[in-house]
Amino acid sequence: MIDAFKEVSEFCRLEIPAAHRVPVAIIGAGGIVDGAHLPAYAKAGVKVVGIFDTDEEKAKDVATRHNIPNIYASIDELLEKSNATIIDIAVPSVAQPDIFAKVANSKHHILAQKPMAPTFEQGQVMADLVDSNGIIAAVNQQLRFEEGVAAAHKMVALGWIGTVTSMSITVNLDTPWELWPWAKDLDRLEVMLHSIHYHDLIRWFLGEPRTVFCAAGRTKGQYTKGETRTVTTAVYDDGLTSLVHANHVNRGGDNYAEFRIDGDKGSIRGTLGLLYDYPNGRVDTLEINSKVLPTDGWTPYPVTTRWFPDAFIGTMGSVMSAIATGSPLRSSVRDNVNTLKLVDALYRSMDSRTAINL
Ligand SMILES: NC(=O)c1ccc[n+]([C@@H]2O[C@H](COP(=O)([O-])OP(=O)(O)OC[C@H]3O[C@@H](n4cnc5c(N)ncnc54)[C@H](O)[C@@H]3O)[C@@H](O)[C@H]2O)c1
């Protein structure tokens, strides 16, 4: 069994070869950069040469604690003076398209945070800028690199559960939205900021859905304005189905985050440990029950890394690998336009209370 897992673990490896590593500069010194980007880069041996944030005190604090040698006074200065090859952008999405355009036009390669842009149309403009400037640009949908999730993807590709029939992701959480004050008054919240990871992930597994329906709700007394509970169903060609169920106002104290992929010859199930106690979390789990291998019932796959910070090595590593070898990006800006298109359809479904054909 362990031998069979070898090919899977090779696919999930979160390392950046020394020969691929190039200098990075960061725009945004917020919680995700502090807590995930920089710890991941330190683990992977990535050199961060400079940082800019409109809040200079924040930039100074983050730079001091993570040994970043240069704090820049503006984006223009960062682009002119740093010797960075890749610009890592991690600001709220409303600010990202303009920054992205400036960086793309300076011909630097880019890793942008999710959501890439507030609207699908803005995302399309950004993807066109990538093409016209001939740069490499990815979106930080790092769940595609999370070890348990990536292992599941490889198991599906190896045919271990036969033909996939359905995929589901269910999270029931007490989410600390207070961590993101800028999100308090957003009309579009849960799908746009959180479940976008799951919708993007399901696209990676199943491709584009044909028809989607999204029901959403708010809970009395919640901190945020936007929706905090969503249930999304999708139908694909060939009768494939998917479900995302996310509740962020779990007052039961039993946070859980589970995913499952069923096929006609087996099933895979896992948990996203991060969400059991965000942002500390616990170890992920992954199990497979396969008639193809075959396994003797449910068999655990040993996941040894975490979504935060480890999967962030994957997204940055993929940009570096694309620069060094021309390898395809797992989460390109162009691909992410379709995730934004799906998110847009889900909000249209929410607003109209009807199913939307894509
Ligand atoms: N899993 C993930 O990948 C993940 C997790 C959390 C947040 N995020 C995303 O990362 C982004 C940042 O989130 P965060 O949690 O760090 O938020 P945060 O509020 O902690 O930090 C945002 C930072 O951006 C800075 N900023 C705002 N506008 C700017 C501008 N025009 N130029 C430079 N800096 C600017 C702010 O001063 C602040 O320091 C958001 O888009 C969020 O959706 C992604």
Given strand 266-271, what is the order of strands in its sheet? 299-300, 285-290, 266-271, 256-263, 164-172, 241-247, 229-235, 211-217, 356-357
Atom of ligand 1 nearest to the CA of 58: 39
Query: Quick check: helix, strand or coil at residue 125?
Result: helix
Query: Quick check: helix, strand or coil at residue 224?
Result: coil
List, in sequence order, every beta strand (DSSP E) within the chain.
24-27, 48-52, 70-71, 86-89, 109-112, 137-139, 164-172, 211-217, 229-235, 241-247, 256-263, 266-271, 285-290, 299-300, 356-357
- Probe ligand 1: pick from 75, 79, 91, 103, max atoms within 8 Å of CB? 91
The identity of residue 202, as a single letter, is I
pLDDT tens by residue, 186-241? 999 999 999 999 999 999 999 999 999 999 999 998 999 999 999 999 999 989 99
Q: Provide the pLDDT for residue 278.
A: 86
CA-nearest residue, atom 7 of ligand 1:
32
186 Cβ closer than 6 Å to some ligand 1 atom: no
178 Cβ closer than 6 Å to some ligand 1 atom: no
**Cα(136)–Cα(120) distance, integer angstroms:** 20
228 Cβ closer than 6 Å to some ligand 1 atom: no
Atom of ligand 1 nearest to the CA of 140: 3
| Dihedral sign from CA coordinates of 173, 286, 340, 109 | positive
Q: Are 288 and 298 in contact (CB under 8 A)?
A: yes
Closest residue by Cα to residue 293 from 261, 322, 268: 268
Q: Which domains does the chain have, with CATH numbers?
A: 13-142+313-332 (3.40.50.720), 146-306+340-357 (3.30.360.10)
E strand or H helix at 318:
helix 311-325
Q: Provide the pLDDT for residue 279.
A: 83
Q: Provide the pLDDT for residue 3.
A: 87
Per DSSP bridges, beta strands 70-71 and 86-89 are: unpaired
Q: How far is the CA of 123 from the centre of ligand 1 (A)?
A: 17
Residues 6+ apart with CB under 8 A from 250: 172, 173, 174
Q: How far is the CA of 91 from the centre of ligand 1 (A)?
A: 3
Q: Provide the pLDDT for residue 327.
A: 98
**Three-point CA angle 340, 196, 53, nearest 5°:** 85
User: Mean pLDDT in runs of 10 for the chain (358 residues)?
Assistant: 89 97 98 97 98 98 98 98 98 97 98 97 98 98 98 98 98 94 95 98 98 96 95 96 97 96 98 92 95 96 95 98 98 98 98 98
Q: Angle of helix 96-105 relative to helix 120-133, nearest 10 degrees?
A: 10
The CA–CA distances, whole Å, from 77 to 105, 311, 327 equal 15, 30, 31
Cis peptide leading into 309, omega within 30 of 0? yes
The identity of residue 216, as a single letter, is A
Q: What are the structure tokens assigned to 150, written together? A: 């990536």
76 Cβ closer than 6 Å to some ligand 1 atom: no
Query: Quick check: helix, strand or coil at residue 24?
Result: strand
**Cα(284)–Cα(147) distance, integer angstroms:** 9
**Cα(268)–Cα(334) distance, integer angstroms:** 29
Q: Provide the pLDDT for residue 1.
A: 67
90 Cβ closer than 6 Å to some ligand 1 atom: yes
47 Cβ closer than 6 Å to some ligand 1 atom: no
Beta-bridge partners for 215: 231
93 Cβ closer than 6 Å to some ligand 1 atom: yes
